[in-house]
Amino acid sequence: MEKVAIINNLYFEQRKSLTEIAEIINTSVSYISKILRKNEMYKIEKEKRKEENQKRRKKVQKDLIYSKRESKTDIDYINLKNKHEQDINELSKHSTIGNHALRKWCNSAYKYNNKKKCYEFDTQNLLKPADFPLYIKA
C-alpha cells in the first residue's frame, strides 16, 4: 500500500511522468500505469496533461518556425530589394530631358531646317506635345 501512495503522490502532486516515476521506484512503466488506472482522477489528469503538452508542442513548433524565418537571409531577395529601391529613387526624381537627348529620342519628329540652321518639329504630320520645343539649336 505504501508504493501506491508514493506513486499517487509523485504523479498527482509532484506532476512526474510515468517514466520518471518508474525510474524513481525502480519498476516498469506498465506497473505504474496499472496502479494509476485504479485511481479515478487518473483519466482527468491524463487528459489535462495531454492538452498541456499539445499546447506546449504547438508553441515550441511555432517559435521554431518563426526563428528559422528570421535567421534565414535570402541574398537574392535583398539584392533585388536594393535594386528596386534604387530604381524607385531614380524614377521619382523630377528631371527633364535635354533638348538634344529629346531630339535623338524622337528623331522622326524633328527635321533639320537649313535656313534656320536648327531642328524643327514636324507640325504638318504630327501633333506637338506642349512640353516639346518647336525648335532645337543644332
Q: Where are the domains of the chain?
A: 2-71, 99-137
**pLDDT digits over 13-50, tens only?**
999 998 999 999 999 999 999 999 999 899 999 999 99
Residues 18, 24, 26, 29, Cα dihedral to 10°:
0
- pLDDT by residue (tens digit) across 63-116? 888 877 766 667 888 889 999 998 888 777 666 778 888 888 888 899 999 999
pLDDT tens string 60-78: 999 888 877 766 667 888 8
Please, what is the average pLDDT of the chain? 88
Q: What strand order describes the sheet that includes 135-137?
A: 110-113, 118-121, 135-137
Check residue 77 and give its pLDDT. Answer: 85
pTM, two decimals, is: 0.45
